[in-house]
Amino acid sequence: MPVICGRVFMNGILTNACFIIENGKIVGVKKSVEGGKKDYGNAVIFPAAIDIHVHFREPGFEYKEDFFTGSRAAAMAGVTCVMDMPNNEPPVISQRIFAEKARKIRYKACVDYGLYMGIKGRVEKCDDCIGYKVFLSGDNEIFCSMEELNEAMKELGDSKPLAIHAEVKECIRRGGATNLREHERNRGKKCEIEAIKKIVEMSKEMKAKIHICHVTTPDSIKLLKGKVSFGVTLHHLLFSYKSEFLKEAMGKVNPPLRGEEERGELYRKFIKGEIPILESDHAPHTLEEKSEFETAPSGMPGVDATMPLMLRMVKKGEIDLQLLHRVMCLNPAKLFGVNKGVFERGKDADFIVIDFGVIKQLKALSKCGWSCYEGMEAIYPKHVYLRGEKIVDDYEFIGDAGMGRMIS
């Protein structure tokens, strides 16, 4: 049985320990073990991250990303479990389409994964999905009115998480934006806040397991805190509509980047521990598609940047390991009932080995070939393990397509 030793993050602290792995799971944790062990010395051994919000673009848009390239990028950034969204082509809104997508990607995933089922008007239940997703914004076919969302919440109950893109369709102005400031005006924060107020009110009398995706404003946090699960993205923490990009449309996302004051307050709430989940909303497009602002699709890559930039923030003392563990490991695992995220007996042996002395420049790992974070200082995991098997060794991916298992 493999035995891994080092400075292990357990119970909120770093402690010298060894854990024993059998059949991909942790079967024991001890202070020390004699012989037959892999000792990482002073390197930090930390649970691998879980990213609950990615768009790996398969099926339908494989020229931007596919499940192999997306999950490989995740692995190299220290993420061993992802939840993939259903706005594909065709959109995943039926059990038949869900099964086709699952078959298509089955032998391509490099990390473990769950697949969302989209809701269009009414719920079609799916035993194998990790959760359900709905857009209130009307940006695609996966759309519900507030009345339909209310019915969906009643029908689903607490069976599986329901992830919501919370922008009210009627509030959004379409087209005409030629820069990030105008895009933000078209989808002002009131569109998000109005949606969240209605969701919180509806959820009071229900047992639905709601998660609000990519919250962008401190006002939303005040409404949601202690009531409904929610997350923020790295790009909403670090960028505003005043940020400069190689092409301005690289920063075009939905919901949009807010003003610098809003961004700063959101960031401060994050480092204070007021936000439960950090999600990448990894949504790659080609640079060519990002050339003309008005016609450019919304979204940017991020699964390859989130953990490395967070680890650099730990090194700089801006956040601590406890906060990072909560938002990228513990809370995502709890929300979806995933058997990962902590070093405990019976949990999957998913972990990363970190040398905090090695600082690199962030590089794009996604198939799309670019990143808004490119060139920023980052700390990548030196080694990454998926269920006890090493998939990244000395910063190089050594895993195989098909190693990842679907979680439902």
Q: What is the pLDDT of residue 286?
A: 98
Cβ atoms of 23 and 32 within 8 Å: the answer is no
Q: Looking at the structure, do residues 367 and 385 belong to the same domain, yes or no? A: yes
- Examine the pLDDT at 256 and tell me if it is beyond 80: yes
Average model confidence (pLDDT) across the chain:
97
Same domain, 310 and 376: no
- CATH number reported for the structural domain that contains residue 240 in this entry: 3.20.20.140
**Is the predicted pLDDT of residue 331 greater than 80, yes or no?**
yes
405 within a domain of the structure (yes/no): no
Domain assignment of residue 404, yes or no: no
- Same domain assignment for residues 26 and 135: no
Same domain (yes/no): 155, 289:
yes
In this structure, the answer to whether residues 89 and 149 fall within a common structural domain is yes
The three-state DSSP-derived secondary structure of 189-220 is HHHHHHHHHHHHHHHCCCCCCEEECCCCCHHH
Tell me, what CATH number does 36's domain have?
2.30.40.10
Instruction: Please check whether residues 107 and 21 belong to one and the same domain.
Output: no
Same domain, 28 and 109: no
Pair type for strands 38-47 and 3-10: parallel
**Residue 33, pLDDT score:** 81
Same domain assignment for residues 277 and 366: no
Which residue among the candidates 84, 139, 281, 348 is catalytic per the annotation? Answer: 281
Domain termination site, one of 311, 336, 361: 336
Give Dmax (Cα) for the chain.
Answer: 68
**162/62 same-domain check:** yes
Q: For 341-359, what is the mean pLDDT? A: 97
Tens digits of residue pLDDT in 85-121: 999 999 999 999 999 999 999 999 999 999 999 999 9
Q: Find the mean pLDDT for residues 249-263.
A: 98
Is the same domain home to 311 and 243?
yes
350 in catalytic set: no
**Cα–Cα distance list, 175 to 144, 149, 182, 314 (Å):** 21, 26, 10, 40
User: Average pLDDT for residues 231-241, to the nearest whole number?
Assistant: 98
Q: What is the mean pLDDT of residues 374-397?
A: 98
- Could you tell me if residue 341 is inside a domain? no
Residue 237 pLDDT level (bands cut at 50, 70, 90): very high
In a domain, 406, yes or no: no
* Mean pLDDT score, 245-249: 97
Last residue of a domain, one of 336, 357, 388: 336
Mean pLDDT of 399-407: 98
Same domain? For 359 and 226 the reply is no
Q: What is the pLDDT of residue 311?
A: 98
- Give 64's pLDDT tier (boundaries 50, 70, 90): very high
Per the structure, the count of domains in the chain is 2
Q: Residue 355 has what pLDDT? A: 98
pLDDT at 205: 82
Question: How much of the chain, in percent, has pLDDT values that exceed 70?
Answer: 100
- The residue out of 315, 336, 357 marking a domain boundary is 336
| Mean pLDDT, rounded, for 230-246 | 98
Q: Which domain holds residue 174?
A: 48-336
Looking at the fold, whether 29 and 65 belong to one and the same domain comes out as: no
- Report the pLDDT averaged over residues 130-146: 95
- State which H helix or E strand residue 101 sits in: helix 95-105
Residue pLDDT, tens place only, 7-44: 999 999 999 999 999 999 999 998 888 777 899 999 99
Query: What integer pLDDT is reported at residue 113 of this predicted model?
Result: 98
Which of these, 144, 74, 139, 159, lies nearest to 113 by C-alpha position?
74
